[in-house]
């Protein structure tokens, strides 16, 4: 940990102020394809490199004391890509889930899933279910894999869940809808990071990110390192979060 970030971490909670570190960080891991194209390589090589980067940043988040890390791995819009690329990504996700079970166990990482499993290939949905069950009792970092995920889709599915359990003339409230989203036990994201030079949320955690701090980086995802994460955390620690009110 850099000296500057270490100082911010030590100051967390002092003087009654907000913690210097976010509890929940979401990352839009953008730029894998462009990373490969810049090197005259197939897009698949960028996705493989991006997966290695994700593992490095998961370990960094664990070491730094972040409690929840949400990774945008495959959106509901990504089905529009070529059949070849989609098939490669689904195979890569499935193989990664099985391969990294030891890593999750050794680091007591709990894996959860945001998104609609019904739209995934049966094997991938099964692998996701298996890793969720195997890691359910772990008490370290929680890694939320957003696969076949879209923020609008999550809200629509949440409303439909609420309608099924609705009693009488009950009205929908923010609290009721929050309880019907994919992972109601997780805290809302404090910090959303997007790599790759784009400055938009692209349908990621739309409900929960209403008051999240947003950090945009020009660096392509496969080039990210622990130091880049630390820079984003320093940015977050310097923010004055008022949530629409006054201090």
Residue 16 placed within a domain: no
Q: Does any domain span residue 124? A: yes
Residue 204 maps to which CATH number? 3.40.1180.10
Is the pLDDT at 11 greater than 50? The verdict is no
Indicate the DSSP class of residue 170. Answer: P
| Residue 31 included in any domain | yes
Q: How many domains does the chain divide into? A: 1
User: If you average pLDDT over every residue of the chain, what do you get?
Assistant: 92
Summarised one tens digit per residue, pLDDT across range 87-121 is 999 999 999 998 999 999 999 999 999 999 999 99
pLDDT digits (tens, 9 = 90+) for 210-234: 999 999 999 999 999 999 999 999 9
Q: Taking a C-beta distance cutoff of 8 angstroms, is the pair 74, 117 a contact?
A: no
Q: Is the pLDDT of residue 86 over 80?
A: yes
Per-residue pLDDT at 10 exceeds 70: no
pLDDT of residue 12: 45
What residues act catalytically?
30, 78
* pTM of the predicted protein model: 0.91
Domain span at residue 201 reads 21-237
How wide is the angle at C-alpha 167 spanned by C-alphas 166 and 170, nearest 5°? 80
Long-range contacts, stretch 164-167, CB < 8 angstroms, 24+ apart: none
Tokens 């692998």, residue? 127
Contact status, residue 45 vs residue 33, Cβ threshold 8 Å:
no
Task: Determine the pLDDT at residue 188.
Answer: 97
Contacts 24+ apart (CB under 8 A), 41-47: 43/85, 44/85, 44/88, 46/222, 47/88, 47/89, 47/92
Q: Model confidence over 119-138: pLDDT tens digits?
A: 999 999 999 999 999 999 99
User: Is residue 8 assigned to a domain?
Assistant: no
Angle, alpha carbons 56-206-238 (nearest 5°):
60
1 lies in a domain? no
């Amino acid at each position: 940990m850099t000296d500057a970030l270490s100082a911010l971490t030590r100051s967390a909670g002092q003087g009654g102020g907000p913690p210097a570190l976010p509890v929940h960080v979401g990352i839009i891991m953008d730029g894998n394809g462009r990373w490969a194209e810049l090197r005259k390589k197939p897009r698949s090589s960028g996705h493989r490199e991006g997966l290695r980067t994700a593992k490095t940043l998961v370990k960094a988040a664990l070491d730094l004391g972040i409690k929840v890390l949400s990774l945008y791995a495959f959106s509901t819009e990504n089905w529009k890509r070529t059949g070849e690329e989609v098939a490669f990504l689904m195979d890569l996700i499935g193989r990664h889930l099985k391969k990294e079970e030891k890593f999750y166990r050794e680091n007591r990482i709990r894996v959860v899933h945001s998104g609609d499993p019904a739209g995934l290939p049966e094997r991938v949905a099964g692998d996701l279910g298996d890793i969720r069950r195997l890691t359910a009792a772990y008490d370290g970092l929680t890694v939320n894999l957003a696969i076949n995920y879209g923020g609008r889709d999550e809200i629509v599915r949440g409303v439909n869940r609420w309608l099924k359990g609705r009693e009488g003339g009950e009205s929908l409230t923010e609290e009721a809808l929050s309880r019907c989203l994919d992972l109601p036990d997780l805290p809302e994201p404090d910090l959303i990071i997007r790599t790759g030079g784009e400055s938009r949320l692209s349908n990621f955690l739309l409900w929960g990110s209403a008051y999240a701090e947003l950090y945009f980086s020009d660096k392509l995802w496969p080039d990210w390192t622990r130091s880049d994460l630390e820079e984003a955390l320093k940015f977050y620690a310097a923010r004055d979060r008022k949530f629409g009110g006054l201090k």
